[in-house]
Amino acid sequence: MRAADAFPPPLPDAAPQQLALLAERLSRTLAVARALAIVGRQIDLNGIQDGVGLLCAKTLDLPHADARRLIPALHELRAQIDSLRLALPPPRQPT
């Protein structure tokens, strides 16, 4: 028996699953933000921006095959961001 056989095989990297979970959480957050924007509530987009930035950066770190599995979730988030953008009031013009 080789020394390598004595150790359990490495567990698969949990990063793709963690990123899919992050995408799901961001999706729910975007849905709530859109609902609040529609009824005229003020929302803070910093957390959303940070979450999306983290998701994109970490996705780039994944092996190509794992990253490709996140493409549908990323497209969905982009659509939700576009929908939120349309629900937001136009920016105030400086006076």
CB contact set of 44 (below 8 Å; sequence gap of 6+): none
Give residue 19's pLDDT band: very low, low, confident or very high (50, 70, 90). Answer: very high
Residue pLDDT, tens place only, 43-86: 999 999 999 999 999 999 999 999 999 999 999 999 999 999 99
Helix (H) or strand (E) holding 41: none
Secondary structure (3-state) at 23 = helix
Give residue 3's pLDDT band: very low, low, confident or very high (50, 70, 90). Answer: very low
Handedness of CA 21, 24, 30, 31 (dihedral sign): negative
Domain ranges of the chain: 63-88
pTM beyond 0.85, yes or no: no
